[in-house]
Chain A
């Protein structure tokens, strides 16, 4: 049911998209801020997974908790139609997101599930955490591959 609920909020967001001047749409900056928060926390567990820093169960758990909660933020107002690379400057969000919203939602749900799993294993030891980090990374990658333009 989780899937359907999120799909509902996305579709609603699309309908409510107001005709503000597109490149000033605050949703773009807001969602980019959200991704910065993702990576700021992913850096802790990712850094431990890559061997950049020592594994610390408590730090890993805190970062994983944050990722769990961050990925639960309702996305309904972050993705209004007309905020893709074809319509405005300052975004890397490809039109493919809106062309197949179901697929985009499915990819976001996959991220939520991977973040939930990471939260469960992050404090259990380096190997367990590393597997959880890998799974989260796969979900990021799947969507970035399909829906994000190269940076300019």
Chain B
């Protein structure tokens, strides 16, 4: 009985394929989603200055559970996602389920993308079809027992995968727009929020900073007492890469700024408004 229950709890729960396939994607809007979601930052080739539009994969992401390797998500039909249907793509991005029905590890931030509108990912799907194909084979993650049991990720999802917003209560229209970007597409909290022993974000310490999982130093707090920036500072930083002390962005935040600075300034203002609201 217990085994059967566990099998049910850990089963993938995809969204309805027919409904997803019926969405009409828009390439131009999809490009904006691509920038807001930062796909290229993790899926570009390794090395110092690869083209972030060639989604070769192969970058390594160290964690407490092992090393994850970003897969090839270029339009190549054999090694990338060129042969995927729109529904398969959206279920991968918003539910963490592969086309063969396996769970993805939550190193892939479907945990945030789940809060977005499916339409955004139909647009992204349309845009990503236009990106170059690359035939580099994806490499397997280097994950030891017991974390290499993919089915167990289903249990993790039952515990931690949530569609609802983290910051709730009274929000202005601008703060809501910022929340949409920050809590779903741009997935700020995935790095700026500490994780519990099972690798889930600790929502009680939202945006309070965390150890850098893939190197030295810390991902800074963007909330709480130590965070002294103003709303203007946050928006100006996302637009220009300059901190209030006129240091210039680096590390893993550099590609984030390079993407976000291509969005409308009103969206950067919205993210800043949300960040300040979340810091209250």
Contacts and interface: CB of A to CB of B under 8 A. Distances in A.
Given A39-B245, A50-B242, A150-B212, A141 B250 contact: yes
Contact of B48 (A92, A103, A151): A103
A40 B245 CA distance: 8
Interface stretch (B82-90, B138-146, B170-178, B217-225): B217-225
A140 interface: yes
Nearest to B255: A145
A46 B216 contact: no
Contacts of B236: 50-52
Interface in B230-276: 232, 236, 239-242, 245-252, 254-255, 257-258
A92 B241 CA distance: 18
A151 B245 CA distance: 14
Q: Which of under 10, 10 to 19, 20 to 34, or 35 or more describes the interface residues of B?
A: 20 to 34
A50 B216 contact: no
B169 interface: no
B240 A152 contact: no
A103 to B, nearest CB: 7
Contacts of B3: none
A43 B254 contact: no
Nearest to B48: A146
Interface in A43-101: 43, 46-47, 49-52, 85, 92, 100
A150 B215 contact: yes
B48 A148 contact: no
Nearest to B237: A50
Most buried by B among A50, A143, A147: A50
Contacts of B49: 142
Contact of B248 (A100, A141, A146, A152): A141
Contact of B217 (A47, A103, A149): A149
Interface in B92-145: none
Contacts of B245: 39, 43
Classify the interface of chain A: helix, strand, loop or mixed: helix
A137 interface: yes
Contacts of A49: 240
Interface residues of A, number: 29
A144 interface: yes
Contacts of A144: 248-251, 254
B235 to A, nearest CB: 9
B215 A140 contact: no
A135 B48 CA distance: 19
A39 B254 contact: no
A46 B181 CA distance: 27
A149 B215 CA distance: 8
A96 to B, nearest CB: 8
A142 B48 CA distance: 9
6 contacts: A47-B246, A85-B216, A92-B217, A137-B248, A150-B215, A150-B217
Given A92-B217, A141-B248, A152-B217, 17 more contacts: A42-B242, A42-B248, A46-B246, A50-B239, A50-B240, A141-B241, A141-B250, A142-B49, A143-B250, A145-B251, A145-B254, A149-B216, A150-B215, A150-B217, A150-B220, A150-B251, A151-B218
